[in-house]
A = this chain, B = another copy of it.
Amino acid sequence: MAADVSTAGHASPAWLDTAGRRCLAEARKFTAARASEHFAGRAEGTVAETALPEFVAGGKCLRPLFAYVGWCCGRTESDAALRAAASLELLHCFALAQDDVMDQSPMRRGRPALQARFAHWHAGQGWRGSARRFGDSAAILAGDLFLVWSEQMLRGSGLDPATLARGWPHYDRMRAELAVGQLADLVGDARALPSWETVLDVLRRKSGNYTVRRPLEFGAALAGCGAATLDRLGEFGGLVGEAFQLRDDLLGVFGDAAVTGKPDGQDLRERKASSVVVLAAQMADRHQRATLADLNALGEIDDDAVARWRALITSTGARDRMEELIRERTEKAIAAIGVAVVPGHALGLLTELATRCTERDL
């Protein structure tokens, strides 16, 4: 299975596609085995036994790829390291399952979100109590299982204890930062309109670190990379992570439902104080600010309101400014690494990953 990364040469996209598919297959296989162990033949497992592996199967394995490329900065390819990297996809499933409950997001990956699937099951059984509350609770528990299974998959990946020991501090920090970052996000959303600095800080800590920087450091640490390399990879990862989240926030406002798998303008509908929303408020002139306030005061944000809000954000110049911020960060990130820092093949993979993260389609 494991062709050495050095033979991939300049074929980084193909190598990444293959590695991503293999990570996803491993994460799905592990989840299916656990789900079968705990749910097969049990009434409460009727939906969970199939819904959990399906949920995993919809992933893009971005975090595992950063971790595995991190590993390739210090070692040759390894099936065990690939499984260790793939465990981060289950950590991501944990985050998505619970975030969707907290944000009451109806869709995920083009399908009903997990809590909606569980709520639908409840409603169909004619059970007593609120189907929504049941769905929320069941999805929280599914998230808990993903959190447990991620660590279990990592520990059982086949890496020896000494190798794993180098990764645990990074893994533990990543897990805790994820929960703490989500709390910071909730607080940010609760505030009338957070400052741009606060938004950038949360974005860096919650999404940037978690999506790019920590997985990359984790993989490189597992591979035994030294402190100097970890520092440079950390700088690269921090910048790419920020650019990734800025792009994600643009998609949350301007993204196409067919591409994002979520309703058009979802962040507007949920009134999320995302980076582009806060930036637009800051760049708006007096007239634009009044229109923004009118939109915010609407009882429901319908398709028409989304269209008007989008046009207004664009007219403030915030959309162009976001593109500039993304470009600046990506360029600075790529400049932070070089063949003096990581092997040439890993450099190609990192550059390709940075591009994929930050130039996703609107």
Contacts and interface: CB of A to CB of B under 8 A. Distances in A.
A141 interface: yes
6 nearest A-B residue pairs (beta carbon)? A127-B190, A102-B137, A44-B184, A44-B187, A144-B179, A161-B161
Contacts of A161: 161
Copies of this chain in its oligomeric complex: 2
Contact of A148 (B101, B125, B127, B147): B147
Contacts of A37: 176
A192 interface: yes
Contact of A183 (B44, B94, B102, B127): B44
Given A94-B144, A102-B137, A152-B172, 18 more contacts: A34-B176, A38-B177, A39-B180, A42-B180, A42-B184, A43-B184, A44-B183, A102-B133, A102-B140, A127-B192, A128-B190, A129-B189, A137-B186, A140-B140, A143-B144, A144-B179, A145-B176, A148-B175
Interface of A: 34, 37-39, 42-45, 48, 94, 98, 101-102, 122, 125, 127-129, 133-134, 137-138, 140-141, 143-145, 147-149, 151-152, 155, 161, 168, 172, 175-177, 179-180, 182-184, 186-187, 189-192
Contacts of A94: 144
Contacts of A192: 127-128
Given A148-B176, A148-B179, A175-B148, A43 B134 contact: no
Contacts of A39: 180
Contacts of A43: 184, 187
A75 to B, nearest CB: 21
Contact of A48 (B128, B137, B183): B183
Interface majority SS (helix, strand, loop, mixed), chain A: helix
Given A144-B98, A176-B145, A179-B145, A190 B122 contact: yes
Contacts of A182: 137, 141
A357 B98 CA distance: 34
20 contacts: A38-B177, A43-B184, A44-B183, A44-B184, A44-B187, A45-B180, A102-B133, A122-B190, A127-B187, A127-B191, A129-B189, A138-B183, A138-B186, A141-B180, A144-B144, A145-B180, A147-B148, A148-B172, A148-B175, A149-B176
Contacts of A186: 44, 134, 137-138, 141
A125 B190 contact: yes
Contacts of A101: 137, 140
Contacts of A148: 147, 172, 175-176, 179
Given A125-B190, A134-B190, A191-B127, A183 B141 contact: yes
A120 to B, nearest CB: 13
Contacts of A180: 38-39, 42, 44-45, 141, 145
Contacts of A129: 189-190
Given A98-B140, A140-B98, A183-B141, A38 B176 contact: yes
Contact of A147 (B42, B44, B144): B144
A103 B182 CA distance: 22
A177 to B, nearest CB: 7
B155 A168 contact: yes
Contacts of A143: 144
Contacts of A151: 151
Contacts of A145: 176, 179-180
